[in-house]
Amino acid sequence: MAATTATSLTLSKPSSLPFNHTHAFPKTPSTLPTLLRSAVKPLFLVSSKNPLSDVISLPAAEDSAWDDEKPREECGVVGIYGDPEASRLCYLALHALQHRGQEGAGIVTVHNDVLQSITGVGLVSDVFNESKLDQLPGSLAIGHVRYSTAGQSMLKNVQPFVAGYRFGSVGVAHNGNLVNYRALRSDLEDSGSIFNTTSDTEVVLHLIATSKHRPFILRIVDACEKLKGAYSLVFVTEDKLVAVRDPFGFRPLVMGRRSNGAVVFASETCALDLIEATYEREVFPGEVLVVDKNGVQSLCLMSHPQPKQCIFEHIYFALPNSVVFGRSVYESRRRFGEILATESPVDCDVVIAVPDSGVVAALGYAAKAGVPFQQGLIRSHYVGRTFIEPSQKIRDFGVKLKLSPVRAVLEGKRVVVVDDSIVRGTTSSKIVRLLKEAGAKEVHMRIASPPIIGSCYYGVDTPSTEELISNRMSVEEIRNFIGSDSLAFLPFDSLQKLLGSESPNFCYACFSGNYPVEPTELKVKKVGDFVDDGLNGSLDSIGGGWVQANRKQIEIGS
C-alpha cells in the first residue's frame, strides 16, 4: 500500500475514560512512549493456502441454500498478546467464532519484529493445519473469520490485512461496516492512494498511512475519527496489540486474560471460554485499548453518544453460551420465547424449533406454555453451500437438504414452531409446507423477534428493504403467504420492556427504520464483496456491491 501525502488533520484532544480501572494516555504526544521505530523494518511475509483465482462458489438458485434466508453477521475477530502459542490459541478462538463467518479465515503473527500472515478461503480447519501454524511463531497474533454476500469471495479480500508504510508495518482485522466508505475511498484515491481490495477495511490502513500524527496510536485515533458506521477493530504492530470499538458500540468486542497473563480480545466470550481466558470486560464504545510490554492502557477515541448495540446479536448472531453486551444470550432468547407464550398463546400439542437459532426461544416458549418441547426438525450439519441438484426438480430441495421433519413428533399434532426471524418469507413457507406434509395437523409460527422492516448498514447482511416481507405485508398477509395456521412476532414494546433500563443502548434500526448513523451517500456499500471483485473501472461500474440508500435517509443525514 502506497503512503501518500495528505493535508494535516486536526486531532481532537483525547479525554480520559470514566472508568477507574483504566489509565488514559498522557495528553501531550511528546510524553507518550515511542510506539514506532524510525527505521523502516522488513515489512511482512504473506502466505496463502489458495491461489488468488480461488473463489467460493455460491448457489445461484433460491432453493439452493437454506441459510441464505437469514441475516448474516459479517465476521469475527481475535487478538492475543503475550502467549508463546498465540497462533494456535488464535486458531482455536476462530473455531469458536466460526458461526460468524465461514468463507475465509486468516491469522497474522509477529516474530522477530516481522508480521507474518496466512489467509485462505474456506473454514478455519480448511485454511490451517499443523504445518501452517508452525509458520506462525510469536507471542502476538490477530485473526479473522469472514462472511461475504453473493458473488465471488476472493482471497485478496480475506483478512487480516497487512500493509507496510514508512514507519513499519501494521495488520488489521475488522468486524462491521462503514457507511462513508465510498467517500473516504474516493478522497484517498484523489490523493494518490491505490487500493488492492474492495473491502472497506483497507480504507483504515490508508488513513493510518496518510495521517500526520505521531505516534502510531494517535494515527489510529486520527483514522477512526473519520470513520462512520460500525467497527470493532484489532490491530497488530511489531510490538503492540490494539483494540478499537466505534463510539456507538454497534458490534461486540470483549477482553479477557489467560492464567499466564496473556491478554485476549474477541468478538464473543465463547472464544475466551475455549482458550481458557477469563472474561474481564467489554471494550467500551469509543475506546482504544493498547497492549504492550507496559501492560494495558486505555485511550478515549472520541466522545461516545448513547450506545447503540446490535440487538440481533441476542436474537441470532451470537452463540447461546456467549455473554454479549453484558447479557447472557441464552437468557435473552429464553425470555423471548416466554414472552411469545404469554402474549401469543395457542392451543397446541408440541413445541418445536427451527434449528439451531430457534432452539432456546422454543425451550422458553414450551416451559412457559406447559407444553412438551421436542425435536420436530433435524438439521444436517454436513451440507455445504455448493451442491448438485438432480435434473428432475425436487420441491423445496434446499430446505430438505438442511432440515428433515420427524413424522413421529408431528403426525396428527397441533405444532408451534419457533424461529428467530422472518426475512423474505420464502424459507418459512417451505418449512410450514414441510411440516404439514409430514402430518402436522396445524402449524403455528412464533417468531422470537419483531418484524424486520429495514436493511442494516452496520455489518449485517440483510436484503434490500423492498425484499423484506414485513416491509411489504401485514402480519396476516405474511401468515397467508407462508401458509401457517397462525403467526405472531415478538412485540417490539415487549422486547424493550424486557431490556429495561438498558433498552436505549440497543440499535433497533432493522425493526424501526430509525438509523443511529444515517447513510449520507447516495449508495451504501453492501456488506461483503462486490459481485465484480476486479480492479477495473470506476466504483460506479462495480455491480451488485451497492444498495440504494433510502431517499428519506439521505435527506435526514445530509
Binding residues: 310, 357, 419-420, 456, 507, 510
Which three three-digit cell numbers place residue 461?
447482511
Distance CA 428, CA 434 (A): 10
Peptide bond before residue 345 is cis, with ω within 30 degrees of 0: no
Which three three-digit cell numbers place residue 411?
403426525
If phi > 0 it is left, if psi is from -120 to 50 it is alpha, else beta; for residue 402 that is: alpha
Query: Letter for the amino acid at 235?
Result: F
Distance CA 119, CA 49 (A): 7
Distance CA 59, CA 140 (A): 38
Would you list which residues are annotated within the binding site for Mg(2+)?
A: 357, 419-420
Strands 44-48 and 114-121: parallel
Nearest to 259 by CA among 82, 484, 5: 82
Buried b or exposed e, range 224-233, using 16+ CB within 10 angstroms:
bbbbbbbbbb
Q: Is 270 a catalytic residue?
A: no
> Contact, 220 vs 208, CB < 8 A?
yes
> Contact, 231 vs 251, CB < 8 A?
yes
Distance CA 383, CA 380 (A): 6
Distance CA 399, CA 435 (A): 12
Distance CA 358, CA 47 (A): 39
Which residues are CB-contacts of 350 (< 8 A; sequence separation ≥ 6)?
371, 372, 373, 374, 376, 409, 410, 413, 414, 415, 416
Strands 523-525 and 546-548: antiparallel
Nearest to 468 by CA among 478, 454, 483: 454
Would you list which residues are annotated within the binding site for [4Fe-4S] cluster?
A: 310, 456, 507, 510
Which three three-digit cell numbers place residue 502?
438498558
Give strand pairing partners of 161. 172
> Contact, 222 vs 9, CB < 8 A?
yes
> Contact, 410 vs 376, CB < 8 A?
yes
- What does residue 340 show for φ and ψ, rounded to 5 degrees? -60, -40
Length of the chain: 558
Nearest to 232 by CA among 422, 100, 320: 100
Q: Which of 75, 90, 270, 300 is catalytic?
A: 75
* H or E segment to which residue 287 belongs: strand 287-292
Q: Which residues are catalytic?
A: 75
